[in-house]
Amino acid sequence: LEKFKKCDFGRCPRVLCHNHPLLPVALSDIPYTKSVKLFCCRCEDIYNPKSTRHASIDGAYYGCSFPHMLFQVYPQLVPPKSTDRYVPRIFGFKLHDVAKQHRYQDMIREESHARIMAGIEGLPTTAAPAASSSSQNNHKKAIEGSPAVSATDSGAMAGVN
């Protein structure tokens, strides 16, 4: 508790946390697997320690639940949730929410294009057209032979197009 108040483990590097003290936490309770990390209870994020002294300590020494148990015992130490949020701006103007959506859609489009291109490169060149034409013929036969589609339905559908 004293080390938390004296900020012996460091302070949160985020600007909007206003140098809030950090607590040690483990990412695994299994000994000798991960070194200790630092937890900020204000932004609820985990950071690598700057000090080599802290980085060499086994994380299992503190455990995954140390900060959370500390705040259960001392609830007055829990900081209020910050309502401060960083708002990205260009020349003082807020970015429109749609801009983020466009970047996300572009990323998805590029990923799907890469998957398609990877799939095309992996296809055999001689068997691909035959397989696709036979599957198209089978699909047409299944539709024509289906009792759910009658001649009047197909004529009505043709008139809609």
Asked if residue 107 and residue 56 are part of one domain, the reply reads: no
Domain residues for the domain of 101 are 88-122
Asked if residue 112 and residue 71 are part of one domain, the reply reads: no
Secondary structure, 3-state, 17-49: HCCCECEEECCCCCCCCCECEEEECCCCEEECC
Look at residue 10 and tell me if it is in a domain. Answer: yes
**What is the predicted pLDDT for the residue at 126?**
53
Q: Report pLDDT digits (tens) over 1-48.
A: 788 888 888 899 888 888 889 999 998 888 988 889 999 988 888 999
Look at residue 132 and tell me if it is in a domain. Answer: no
Looking at residues 68-78, what average pLDDT do you find? 88
Looking at residues 133-158, what average pLDDT do you find? 45
Name which residue leads in pLDDT, 148 or 36.
36
Name which residue leads in pLDDT, 55 or 75.
75
- pTM, 2 dp: 0.54
**What is the predicted pLDDT for the residue at 124?**
59
Look at residue 130 and tell me if it is in a domain. Answer: no
Q: What is the CATH number of the domain that holds 23?
A: 2.20.25.20
Asked if residue 70 and residue 33 are part of one domain, the reply reads: yes
Q: Report pLDDT digits (tens) over 104-142.
A: 888 898 888 888 888 776 655 554 444 444 444 444 444
Asked if residue 103 and residue 70 are part of one domain, the reply reads: no
Asked if residue 71 and residue 8 are part of one domain, the reply reads: yes
Contact between 60 and 30 under an 8 Å Cβ cutoff? The reply is yes
Name which residue leads in pLDDT, 8 or 156.
8
CA distance readout (Å), 62 to 36, 39, 71, 117, 148: 8, 12, 14, 48, 66
Asked if residue 100 and residue 61 are part of one domain, the reply reads: no
CA distance readout (Å), 77 to 14, 15, 41, 74: 19, 20, 10, 6
Asked if residue 94 and residue 69 are part of one domain, the reply reads: no
Look at residue 110 and tell me if it is in a domain. Answer: yes
Asked if residue 110 and residue 67 are part of one domain, the reply reads: no
Radius of gyration for the alpha carbons in the chain, expressed in angstroms and rounded: 30
Asked if residue 33 and residue 63 are part of one domain, the reply reads: yes
Contact between 13 and 20 under an 8 Å Cβ cutoff? The reply is no
Residue 149 pLDDT > 60, yes or no?
no
Instruction: Say how far apart CA 111 and CA 134 lie, in whole Å.
Output: 29
**What is the predicted pLDDT for the residue at 138?**
46
**What is the predicted pLDDT for the residue at 89?**
83
The burial class, CB within 10 Å (0-12 / 13-18 / 19+), for 22 is buried
Residue 53 pLDDT > 60, yes or no?
yes
- Domains in the chain, number: 2
